[in-house]
Amino acid sequence: MKDRFHSKRKSDDSLSCGVIGLGRSGWDIHIRCINEVEETSLSCVCDSNSERLDKALENLDCKGYTDYNDVINDPEVDIVIVATPSSSHFQIARDALKAKKHVVLEKPITSSIDEAIELKEISIENRRLLIPFFNFRFADEFLKIKSILKEGMIGSPFLIKRQVSYFNRRDDWQSQSTQQGGILNAAAIHHIDQVLQLVGDQPIDLWTDLRRVVSKGDAPDHCKIIMKFSNGCVADIEVSWAMALKDRKPWQIFGPKGAIIQSNNSITYRWFDERDCTEEMRDDRSYFSNEKINWKVKEYTLEDDYALGIAPILYSKIADSINGDSEIPITIDSALITMEVMNKIENYL
């Protein structure tokens, strides 16, 4: 553990990062990603829990603070990463932007669209980047699926099924509505966002079932969402902490010429080329057509920790955008689209 999180020394051209919040995301994802790319380095960390902070500093070569204001006022910090509980995101991000810091902001970025728009305006006014942390857009499995779809091998998808489910009777802040916890903000938001990115449009119709089943808090722990898009594609999204499953198929994408299926850490895709189909006469009572489809099949193996959404490449892209070498990898405008869909799901009757 110590070697995994030991922070590298800052090089002259790397961007210094300050991570606020040392919970699951701050510790397991942000610090790891920062330390795995050359373009960024860890300058300081912050957590209001001094015991947690001291334990973290045993494994890190950086400064530590218990007050987030010390991070945003630290002259060495270029990028402030806000990985605190959801209800505090807006205030910390607003203060950091006004202090002329670039901000990477965990999801859900704010409690409301109005707050997100206000942060956008502050970022423009202070000429600093505000980057929503939709890291699953850069997860290994998602990049591979986008690549396969771009090649057009299975054709334009007519059905996308996304399932991320397991059994967990949560009793932490993510199980409490007053803390903006629950399955939508904690997990489903990522997978709704992924589907919106694949389709490239907002749904024209949706249906949802959102409920608390086994959680020890009062926030929903199970959701089923069906979305229909103007191009005819239907998305079936199922994200749950209440399903006692072992065999999972996180992605199933079907097109007129094939399919993409993920089973655990393996992605299999099969497709056919019309030119490779051959005639094969069948009995007149057969349910199948008089042709033989010669399927082509490929398989891709993901890293063992694929489900965590750990994507160091995103921090490389963030650094490049701050240095002016490329566009922002995740824009606030794209996050606003996801927030609009989330509002429709939450308000569905």
pLDDT class for 110, splitting at 50, 70, 90?
very high
How sure is the predictor about 161, in pLDDT bands with cuts at 50, 70 and 90? very high
Written as six digits, the tokens of 37 are: 């790319």
Assign 5 a pLDDT band (cuts: 50, 70, 90).
very low
pLDDT tier at 306 (50, 70, 90 boundaries)? confident
Choose between 263 and 288: higher pLDDT: 263
pLDDT at 284 over 80: no
Q: Are 162 and 250 in contact (CB under 8 A)?
A: yes
> What does the pLDDT average to over 181-186?
94
**pLDDT digit string (tens) for 7-42?**
444 555 799 999 999 999 999 999 999 999 999 999
Domain-by-domain residue ranges, the chain? 2-135+310-329, 140-308
Left (φ > 0), alpha (ψ -120 to 50) or beta: where does 137 sit? alpha
- Under CATH, which number does the domain 140-308 receive? 3.30.360.10
**For 2-135+310-329, CATH number?**
3.40.50.720
pLDDT tens per residue across span 216-229 = 999 999 999 999 99
The fraction of the chain above a pLDDT of 70, given in percent, is 96
Q: Does the pLDDT at position 283 exceed 60?
A: yes
